[in-house]
Copies of this chain bind each other. A is one copy, B any other.
Amino acid sequence: MKRMQRPFLHPALGDVTLESVLYALADPVRLSIVCKLTLGNCPMNCSSAAPDKLPKSTQSHHYQVLREAGLIRSERRGTEVVNTLRCAEINAKFPGVIPAILTAAVAAHAFTASAGSSSKTAED
């Protein structure tokens, strides 16, 4: 039987739970992806937001988790997939959670953004 490529599904804001958000951010790879998307603050394709040398299947898995947790929105654009953060929405539901986590994460690891912006706290 033929392998199908299922469409992306994004949970409605009402279905997003605090637990799944925390779970999604509890993985260092996924946390770094979200940090890069924040610091880059423009849509990015999967491989450029993911850490180097990460197997593609693993990347794909992590993006799926982030998507299903409601943290990112993914859209196919030609041959690639562009990802944008849903921080504003999540922040409306769980005020302060995402900014606090991202600020702490950036402080802890100092992720490299593509453009070298000076020192930006992740206040969405």
- Annotate A13-45 by CB proximity to B: 1 below 8 A, 0 otherwise: 000011110110111100100000000000000
- Among the stretches A2-10, A55-63, A94-102, A112-120, the one at the interface with B is A94-102
In this complex, which of A22, A94, A105 has the most chain B Cβ atoms within 10 angstroms of its Cβ? A22
A25 vs B94: C-alpha distance when bound (angstroms)? 15
A100 vs B94: C-alpha distance when bound (angstroms)? 8
B31 touches A27 (CB 8 A): no
A108 vs B94: C-alpha distance when bound (angstroms)? 9
A104 vs B93: C-alpha distance when bound (angstroms)? 8
Q: Is A47 part of the contact surface with B, judged by Cβ < 8 Å?
A: no
What are the 8 A-B residue pairs with the smallest beta carbon separation, nearest first? A23-B26, A96-B100, A22-B26, A94-B104, A97-B100, A100-B100, A22-B22, A26-B26
**CB<8 Å pairs between A and B, sample of 28:** A17-B108, A18-B101, A18-B104, A18-B105, A18-B108, A19-B26, A19-B28, A22-B22, A22-B23, A22-B25, A22-B26, A22-B101, A23-B23, A23-B26, A23-B27, A94-B100, A94-B108, A95-B100, A95-B104, A96-B96, A96-B100, A96-B103, A96-B104, A97-B100, A97-B101, A97-B104, A100-B100, A100-B101
